[in-house]
């Protein structure tokens, strides 16, 4: 019973490099989310996908793109990483829109 | 932007005491509220959710909701050192919204 699985767990990038954070859930949830968490800033929503085939911007979408590959998978891409994107990234999913979120274990990203 | 506000703390209580964590929200349309616990370096985990005015009890935890005052709280009875964590309050950004807005969290320390 894996729940929400994120890869990688840790990543170090140089400024300008690109990478994709992967997320998969095995709970047959409809909605999936990407958050970032910075000290003193709490969890901030980057992008979400209410259902397969749809994606929408959250509070802090600049510098990111997402793909809802299928019902299980939702990826987050940084096209040109910047030091301001150093953060812990969490993927989460919900059965439907207003239910409780289930979080993955997070990806700690450092951009130098 | 809908807001969820929490006192960042830290809140220190002695072992065995009642810890009281508070949260206010700006969107009167919010219908459901969630409390998450986050240990240092870990992902948030759901501990309580509440939809109706009044109290909801689950073991040592009680969530209280007052929609007229736009106020939700979490009481932890018989606090234990293992309760030491950051507690995050969250609410949907409007009725039926797929966006969940988090407060910045309150850090709780339970002193043995």
Q: Which of A44, A58, A98 sits opposite B92 (nearest CB)?
A: A98
* Contacts across the A-B interface (CB distance below 8 Å): 54
Q: Residue A1: what pLDDT? A: 63
Q: Which residues of B touch A59 (CB under 8 A)?
A: 1
For residue B90, give how far its alpha carbon lies from the nearest alpha carbon of chain A (Å): 9
Q: Which residues of B touch A97 (CB under 8 A)?
A: 92, 96-98
Q: Residue A83: what pLDDT? A: 97
Q: Residue A54: what pLDDT? A: 93
Q: Residue B96: what pLDDT? A: 61
B7-21 pLDDT per residue, tens: 878 999 999 999 999
Q: What percent of chain B has pLDDT over 70?
A: 96
Contacts 24+ apart (CB under 8 A), A103-106: A103/A4, A103/B43, A103/B44, A103/B45, A104/A3, A104/A4, A104/A5, A104/A6, A104/A23, A104/B43, A105/A5, A105/A6, A105/A9, A105/B42, A105/B43, A106/A6, A106/A9, A106/A37, A106/B42, A106/B43
Q: Residue A97: what pLDDT? A: 61
Q: With cut-offs at 50, 70 and 90, classify the pLDDT of residue B108.
A: very high
Q: Which residues of B touch A98 (CB under 8 A)?
A: 31-32, 92, 96-97
* pLDDT over threshold 80, residue B95: no
The CA distance from A68 to B74, in Å, is 35
Q: Residue A44: what pLDDT? A: 93
Q: Is B102 on the interface with A (CB under 8 A)?
A: yes
pLDDT top residue among A23 and B3: A23
Average pLDDT over residues B63-71: 92
Q: Among positive and negative, which fits the CA dihedral A52, A27, B104, B24? A: positive
What is the separation of C-alpha A4 from the centre of its chain, rounded to a whole number of angstroms? Answer: 11
Chain mean pLDDT for chain B: 91
Q: CA–CA distance from B17 to each of B81, B109, B112 (Å)?
A: 11, 12, 11
A15-46 pLDDT per residue, tens: 999 999 999 999 999 999 999 999 888 899 99
Interface test with B, best of A23, A30, A38, A43 (most B CBs within 10 A): A43
**Do strands A102-103 and B100-102 pair parallel, antiparallel, or not at all (unpaired)?**
unpaired
Q: Is B40 on the interface with A (CB under 8 A)?
A: no
Q: Which residues of A touch B104 (CB under 8 A)?
A: 40-42
The CA distance from A62 to B84, in Å, is 34
CB contact under 8 A, B98 and A100: no
**In the 8-state DSSP scheme, what is residue A52?**
T
A46-94 pLDDT per residue, tens: 999 989 999 999 999 999 999 999 999 999 999 999 999 999 999 999 8
Query: Can you spell out the DSSP letters for B33-100?
Result: EEEEEE-TTS--EEEEEE-SSEEEEETTEEEEEETTTTEEEEEESS--GGG-EEEEEEEESSTT-SPE
Q: Is A72 on the interface with B (CB under 8 A)?
A: no
Query: Can you spell out the DSSP letters for B78-89?
Result: S--GGG-EEEEE
């Amino acid at each position: 019973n894996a729940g929400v699985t994120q890869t990688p767990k840790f990543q170090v990038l140089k400024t300008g490099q690109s990478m994709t954070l992967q997320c998969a859930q095995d709970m047959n949830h409809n909605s999936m989310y990407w958050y970032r968490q910075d000290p003193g800033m709490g969890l901030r929503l980057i992008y979400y996908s209410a259902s397969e085939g749809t994606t929408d911007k959250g509070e802090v979408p600049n510098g990111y793109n997402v793909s809802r590959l299928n019902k299980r998978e939702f990826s987050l891409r940084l096209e040109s990483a910047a030091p301001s994107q150093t953060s812990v990234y969490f993927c989460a999913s919900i059965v439907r829109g207003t239910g409780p979120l289930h979080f993955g274990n997070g990806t700690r990203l450092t951009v130098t | 932007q809908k807001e969820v506000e929490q006192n960042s703390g830290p809140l220190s209580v002695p072992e065995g005491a009642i810890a009281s964590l508070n949260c206010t929200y700006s969107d009167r349309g919010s219908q459901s509220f969630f409390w998450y616990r986050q240990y240092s370096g870990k992902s948030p985990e759901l501990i309580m959710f509440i939809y109706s005015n009044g109290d909801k009890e689950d073991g040592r935890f009680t969530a209280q909701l007052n929609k007229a005052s736009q106020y939700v709280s979490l009481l932890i009875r018989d606090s234990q050192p293992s309760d030491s964590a950051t507690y995050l309050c969250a609410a949907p950004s409007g009725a039926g919204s797929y966006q969940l807005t988090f407060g910045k969290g309150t850090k709780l320390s339970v002193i043995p």
